[in-house]
């Protein structure tokens, strides 16, 4: 493996100089965009690692943590490079590598193997292996292995679950494979890794208390705008937003591959700096009926809150437009939220809020143990196939909205469904498929905003919402 990043810059000294400057200045903007390893220590880190900067000649660059691990490097215990936000590239790109990375993040390899991933992509397993390895320095097995190791570390360090249960919950096929991977990635046994956990309040959680998580993001994050949107859209029985504006908690039920779950996410960043932060996280707590759903649940939450975005790239492009420049200055890091369940969002968008509430009451799956106002999981497409044309298309596979769906194909499929017009199809593409570059029919748009037109729309809508709030501070609907 070359010591250069594998995305087309092999042999480019200027490119390496830029990467080294990011490492030397501990620039958190690049966390997750690349990783660096130190040949003399055998450790790999995130660019913002606080350790002493290594000599340039000892540094190697990798596009993924999996590539660094495959080359024999172990994760730094100071900067925890496995916990950084994911690369924003995977949400932007529509090619096979971008789609594959989204599906691996959603746990497809753990559930269906490389063969299942290849079938979903429409390629042979050998082609998928070749393309991922050529660009990222690691194939689908190594990428999934790195993800499993991270899931295992979270469970080891935040819960009191037995090690054997954690091994299978994280997706490992055997306890031996689990032990070998943890030693290779962290240079510690699972027991030692658990003992090395940083202290965070009241110790490790019990299964009944849920799994505490820190959902990392890069750059500034406008939490208030995201929570305002979630509060506006909240579907009774499935989700709610409680508390005062600025310190709210978003809660919802989740329909996951193995079972159901409940999540609670806090609005405020724990470092108490208001809405904008150079880097930080959202505190969350997950209650899962089956721990094997942890990886998928986390990835879907990251999509819902748009935590893998690169706000620096988005703001730089949009601020070049005179109309958007003051909006970007007022709200740096404004996100374009996605969806916790793509199929659920699509059905809700197609039928509207009032009909969605009726569907929950009539067809929703009751929770075994309701949690306050959370009582149901939104019905699966199969349960609604006789009532909602889009649900029928989803159940039959005529419309695909999974993590690796081709967005152009999905939009064409949506437009073929009775009752789904261009505006609804565009909204589903933006939110359910996490497309950062959608122009919604009837809304102002400009090619100069590419590839971030979804964010431009959020800026325009947010400015309109804030204007309405100022004009009418005590609306009747409040």
20-38 residue pLDDT tens: 999 999 998 899 899 999 9
Closest CA to 172 of 252, 329, 86, 292: 292
Residues 6+ apart with CB under 8 A from 396: 385
Any idea which residue has 């995305």 for tokens? 7
Instruction: Please give the helix or strand (H or E) that residue 67 lies within, else none.
Output: helix 65-70
Q: How far apart are CA 20 and CA 14, in angstroms?
A: 10
Structure tokens at 10: 């092999």
Q: What angle do CA 370, 376, 377 make, to 5 degrees?
A: 125
**Number of domain units in the chain:** 2
Are 138 and 102 contained in the same domain?
yes
Are 133 and 178 contained in the same domain?
yes
Residues 6+ apart with CB under 8 A from 1: 62, 67, 70, 71, 137
More confident position, 210 or 131:
131
Are 113 and 189 contained in the same domain?
yes
Are 110 and 151 contained in the same domain?
yes
Are 98 and 168 contained in the same domain?
yes
Are 79 and 93 contained in the same domain?
no
pLDDT of res. 209: 76
Are 57 and 100 contained in the same domain?
no
Residues 418, 421, 426, 431, Cα dihedral to 10°: -50
Residues 6+ apart with CB under 8 A from 130: none
pLDDT of res. 84: 87
Report whether 465 contacts 232 (CB < 8 A). Answer: no
Give the residue ranges of DSSP H helices in 187-289. Answer: 190-195, 223-233
More confident position, 95 or 3:
95
DSSP 456-474: HHHHHHHHHHHHHHHH-SS
> Dmax of the chain from CA atoms?
66
pLDDT of res. 230: 98
State the DSSP code for 384. Answer: H
Q: What angle do CA 473, 477, 478 make, to 5 degrees?
A: 55
Confidence of residue 17 (pLDDT cuts 50, 70, 90): confident
Instruction: Please give the helix or strand (H or E) that residue 125 lies within, else none.
Output: helix 125-136
Q: How far apart are CA 110 and CA 7, in angstroms?
A: 26
* Residue 277 predicted with pLDDT over 60: no
Report whether 178 contacts 167 (CB < 8 A). Answer: yes
Are 124 and 183 contained in the same domain?
yes
Strands (E), 256-347: 260-266, 279-288
pLDDT of res. 200: 56
Residues 6+ apart with CB under 8 A from 131: 96, 97, 100, 123
Domain harbouring 25, CATH code = 3.40.10.10
pLDDT of res. 14: 63
Structure tokens at 206: 């019990």
Are 45 and 129 contained in the same domain?
no
Report whether 287 contacts 327 (CB < 8 A). Answer: no
Q: Which of 169, 195, 221 is the last residue of a domain?
A: 195
Q: Which residues pair with 205 in a beta bridge?
A: 159
Residue 325 included in any domain = no
CB atoms within 10 A of CB 295: 25
Residue 376 included in any domain = no
Q: Which residues pair with 251 in a beta bridge?
A: 240, 264
Q: Which residues pair with 240 in a beta bridge?
A: 251
* Residue 6 predicted with pLDDT over 80: no
Residues 87, 88, 90, 94, Cα dihedral to 10°: -160
Identify the domain containing residue 42 by its residue range.
13-83
Q: What is the pLDDT of residues 376-386, one digit of tens each?
A: 999 999 999 99
pLDDT of res. 207: 55
Q: How far apart are CA 374 and CA 361, in angstroms?
A: 12
Tell me the percentage of the chain whose pLDDT exceeds 70.
90
Residue 120 included in any domain = yes
Q: How far apart are CA 216 and CA 228, in angstroms?
A: 20
Q: What is the pLDDT of residues 185-207, one digit of tens each?
A: 999 999 999 998 876 555 565 55
Domain harbouring 147, CATH code = 1.10.10.60
Any idea which residue has 């935590």 for tokens? 307
* Residue 10 predicted with pLDDT over 70: no
Are 93 and 191 contained in the same domain?
yes
Are 22 and 73 contained in the same domain?
yes
* Residue 8 predicted with pLDDT over 90: no
Q: How far apart are CA 54 and CA 301, in angstroms?
A: 35
Residue 280 included in any domain = no
Are 149 and 170 contained in the same domain?
yes
Q: Which of 83, 107, 142 is the last residue of a domain?
A: 83
Residue 299 included in any domain = no
Instruction: Please give the helix or strand (H or E) that residue 252 lies within, else none.
Output: strand 249-255
**Distance between the two ends of the chain, CA-based, in angstroms?**
59
Q: How far apart are CA 212 and CA 304, in angstroms?
A: 18
Residue 202 included in any domain = no
Report whether 460 contacts 454 (CB < 8 A). Answer: no
* Residue 475 predicted with pLDDT over 70: no
* Residue 3 predicted with pLDDT over 80: no
Confidence of residue 81 (pLDDT cuts 50, 70, 90): very high
* Residue 362 predicted with pLDDT over 80: yes
* Residue 15 predicted with pLDDT over 70: no
């Amino acid at each position: 493996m070359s010591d250069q990043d594998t995305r087309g810059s092999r042999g480019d000294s200027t490119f390496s100089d830029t990467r080294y400057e990011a490492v030397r200045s501990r620039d958190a903007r690049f966390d997750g965009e690349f990783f660096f390893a130190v040949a003399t220590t055998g450790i790999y880190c995130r660019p913002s690692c606080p350790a002493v900067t290594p000599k340039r000649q000892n540094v190697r660059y990798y596009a993924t943590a999996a590539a660094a691990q495959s080359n024999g490097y172990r994760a730094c215990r100071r900067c925890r490079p496995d916990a950084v936000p994911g690369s924003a590239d995977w949400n932007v790109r529509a090619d096979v590598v971008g789609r594959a990375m989204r599906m691996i993040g959603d746990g497809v390899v753990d559930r269906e193997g490389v063969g299942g991933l290849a079938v979903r992509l429409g390629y042979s397993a050998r082609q998928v292996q070749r393309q991922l390895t050529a660009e990222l320095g690691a194939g689908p097995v190594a990428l999934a292995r790195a993800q499993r190791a991270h899931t295992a570390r979270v469970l080891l360090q935040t819960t009191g679950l037995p090690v054997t249960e954690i091994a299978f919950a994280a997706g490992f096929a055997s306890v031996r494979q689990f032990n070998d991977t943890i030693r290779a990635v962290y240079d510690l046994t699972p027991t030692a890794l658990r003992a090395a956990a940083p202290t965070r309040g009241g110790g490790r959680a019990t299964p009944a208390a849920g799994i505490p998580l820190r959902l990392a993001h890069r750059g500034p994050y406008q939490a208030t705008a995201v929570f305002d949107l979630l509060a506006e859209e909240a579907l009774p029985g499935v989700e709610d937003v409680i508390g005062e504006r600025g310190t709210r908690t978003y809660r919802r039920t989740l329909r996951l591959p193995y079972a159901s779950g409940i999540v609670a996410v806090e609005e405020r960043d724990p470092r108490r700096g208001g809405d904008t932060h150079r880097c930080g996280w959202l505190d969350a707590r997950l209650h899962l009926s089956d721990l094997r759903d942890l990886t998928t649940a986390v990835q879907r939450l990251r999509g819902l809150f748009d935590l893998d975005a690169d706000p620096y790239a988005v703001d730089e492009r949009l601020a070049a437009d005179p109309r958007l420049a003051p909006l970007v200055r007022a709200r740096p890091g404004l996100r374009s939220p996605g969806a916790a369940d793509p199929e659920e969002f699509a059905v809700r968008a197609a039928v509207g809020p009032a009909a969605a509430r009726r569907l929950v009451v009539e067809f929703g799956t009751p929770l075994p143990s309701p949690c306050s106002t959370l009582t149901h999981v939104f019905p699966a497409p199969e349960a609604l196939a006789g009532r909602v044309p889009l649900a029928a298309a989803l159940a039959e596979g005529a419309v695909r909205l999974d993590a690796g769906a081709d967005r152009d194909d999905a939009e064409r499929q949506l437009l073929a469904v009775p009752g789904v017009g261009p505006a609804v199809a565009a909204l589903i593409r933006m939110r359910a498929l996490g497309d950062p570059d959608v122009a919604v029919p009837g809304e102002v748009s400009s090619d100069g905003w590419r590839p971030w037109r979804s964010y431009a729309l959020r800026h325009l809508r947010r400015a309109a919402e804030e204007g309405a709030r100022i004009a009418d501070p005590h609306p009747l609907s409040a």
